[in-house]
Amino acid sequence: AAKPYSEHWNNVMNELLELDFTMDPTFNIYEASRDLQRARRAEWHEEYTLPSLWEFYQPSKVSHGSYWHDWGTEQEVAWKNNYKLWMTFINEYKNRGGRVTTGSDSGFIFQLYGFAYIRELELLREAGFHPLEIIKSATLNGAEALGMDDKIGSVAIGKLADFVIVEENPLQNFKVLYGTGAVKLTEDNEVVRVGGVKYTVKDGIVYDSKALLADVKRQVDEAKAKSNYTIKQPGIKN
């Protein structure tokens, strides 16, 4: 909360740099705090969020992270201002040589596994990271933080083959990495979906990513069918 570039701010920054501290901000997991409606209306919830998880997301005094007792404009504006401070610190930490990695902390506050991780890439971009710096944060930096950069983190002879294949350019638009793809308008005025990871290669084994996503949808459909469950927004009974 210190003023950016103030003496206290720089003291904290310098101490963390001296400690070779790794920052994994997980911006996404708190994003509902600055825009609750956006987070709870994300298009993937309808098909890929299990009923049990959707129930866990709802306002509650007992469920972790479900603290929307009386959430409104004032709270969201305060969090938007907090994000400006937070992102400024993280971006400058990276600029001064600090290690920043990519994580999602998914599973509560309307952040869904897989999708939230891609959102984290977008939020790092908002913080001021160049797209290539974001890719490095999500790959090599993470491997270094885990002490595994001799095995993973980059494409090199002798390392494990761990990467994803997508037919679009994520450096131009990270949204093409979402399982639901990115919306695009063609020259013929047709609305289409492009992207979505096509293949995931893990330890040299190739997986059909779209088939895996379809399997998640099947599991969600089966869970809904068991109890005739329909996703509804908070407070809506019918």
Q: Report if residue 130 sits inside a domain.
A: yes
CA–CA separation, 38 vs 14, rounded Å? 36
Q: What number is the average pLDDT over the span 72-92?
A: 97
Q: Report if residue 188 sits inside a domain.
A: yes
How confident is the model at residue 66, as a pLDDT? 72
Q: Give phi and psi for 116, each to the nearest 5.
A: -65, -30
How confident is the model at residue 72, as a pLDDT? 92
How confident is the model at residue 94, as a pLDDT? 98
Q: Report if residue 237 sits inside a domain.
A: no
How confident is the model at residue 1, as a pLDDT? 84
Can you give the pTM of this predicted structure?
Answer: 0.95
Q: What number is the average pLDDT over the span 79-107?
A: 97
Question: How sure is the predictor about 43, in pLDDT bands with cuts at 50, 70 and 90?
Answer: very high
pLDDT tens by residue, 46-55? 999 999 999 9
Report CA torsion sign: 159, 164, 165, 169.
Answer: negative
Q: Report if residue 1 sits inside a domain.
A: no
Q: Report if residue 193 sits inside a domain.
A: yes
Q: Which residue has the tokens 């920054």?
A: 13
How confident is the model at residue 45, as a pLDDT? 97
Q: Report if residue 132 sits inside a domain.
A: yes
230 C-beta neighbours (distance < 10 Å), count = 9
Question: How sure is the predictor about 229, in pLDDT bands with cuts at 50, 70 and 90?
Answer: very high
How confident is the model at residue 234, as a pLDDT? 84
pLDDT tens by residue, 150-203? 999 999 999 999 999 999 999 999 999 999 999 999 999 999 999 999 999 999
Give the percent of the chain with pLDDT over 90.
91
The whole domain housing 132 covers: 7-227
Domain count, the chain: 1
How confident is the model at residue 126, as a pLDDT? 98
| Eight-class DSSP state of 146 | T
Joined together, the tokens standing for residue 78 give 């305060």
Question: How sure is the predictor about 65, in pLDDT bands with cuts at 50, 70 and 90?
Answer: confident
Q: What number is the average pLDDT over the span 209-226?
A: 98
How confident is the model at residue 68, as a pLDDT? 75
pLDDT reading at 24 higher than 90: yes
Q: What number is the average pLDDT over the span 201-209?
A: 95
pLDDT reading at 238 higher than 90: no
Q: Which residue has the tokens 């400024």?
A: 88
How confident is the model at residue 237, as a pLDDT? 78
Q: Report if residue 236 sits inside a domain.
A: no
Question: How sure is the predictor about 87, in pLDDT bands with cuts at 50, 70 and 90?
Answer: very high
